[in-house]
């Protein structure tokens, strides 16, 4: 049985996020705001159906998916693009592949103790964020 990601998670650290945003071709003004944010993640998991709500004072983003089922993801709130997204389990890790304009785009979530780790990837850039369960 994969890990249970359900919970409310508060960001405690973020590394290399601006480089990741540059790889997504996010304009400098938005990048400067985004790197100052400390978004929370509200995750609900019911079997293979998962909802991840990323909440901040600037922008919110909701992602609702079923493990292993490809879907068209509207990343409008993030960078204005759409991509075909598939999320699967790799052991206890959630691995996301986003096929579209940006090569190598995706992310991986995993849990260590009471911390949720997130690795974001795009065009060779890698950012890491850590959230603590509240």
Tens digit of each residue's pLDDT (9 = 90 or more) over 75-85? 877 788 899 99
For 15-37, the pLDDT digits (tens) are: 999 999 999 999 999 899 999 99
Q: What is the CATH number of the domain that holds 114?
A: 2.40.128.20
In a domain, residue 69? The reply is yes
Sequence-distant (≥ 6) Cβ neighbours of residue 130 within 8 angstroms: 11, 12, 13, 14, 115, 116, 117, 118
In a domain, residue 2? The reply is no
| Domain span holding position 53 | 7-133
CA angle 24, 54, 84 (to 5 degrees): 50
**pLDDT at residue 22 in the model:** 95
The verdict on pTM exceeding 0.85 is yes
Tell me, rounded to whole angstroms, the distance of Cα 90 from its chain centroid.
Answer: 16
In a domain, residue 94? The reply is yes
User: Tokens 């978004």 correspond to what residue?
Assistant: 39
In a domain, residue 1? The reply is no
Report the alpha-carbon distance of residue 125 to residue 112 in Å, rounded. 23
> What tokens does 96 get?
């996301």
């Amino acid at each position: 049985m994969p890990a249970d990601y359900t919970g409310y998670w508060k960001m405690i650290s973020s590394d290399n996020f601006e480089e990741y945003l540059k790889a997504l071709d996010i304009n400098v003004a938005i990048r400067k705001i985004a790197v100052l944010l400390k978004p929370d993640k509200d995750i609900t998991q019911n079997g293979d159906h998962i909802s991840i709500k990323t909440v901040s004072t600037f922008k919110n983003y909701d992602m609702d998916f079923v493990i292993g089922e490809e879907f068209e993801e509207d990343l409008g709130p993030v960078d204005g693009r759409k991509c075909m997204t598939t999320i699967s389990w790799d052991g206890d890790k959630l691995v996301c592949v986003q096929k579209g304009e940006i090569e190598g785009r995706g992310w991986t979530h995993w849990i260590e103790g009471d911390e949720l780790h997130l690795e974001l990837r795009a065009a060779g850039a890698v950012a890491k964020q850590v959230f603590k369960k509240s």
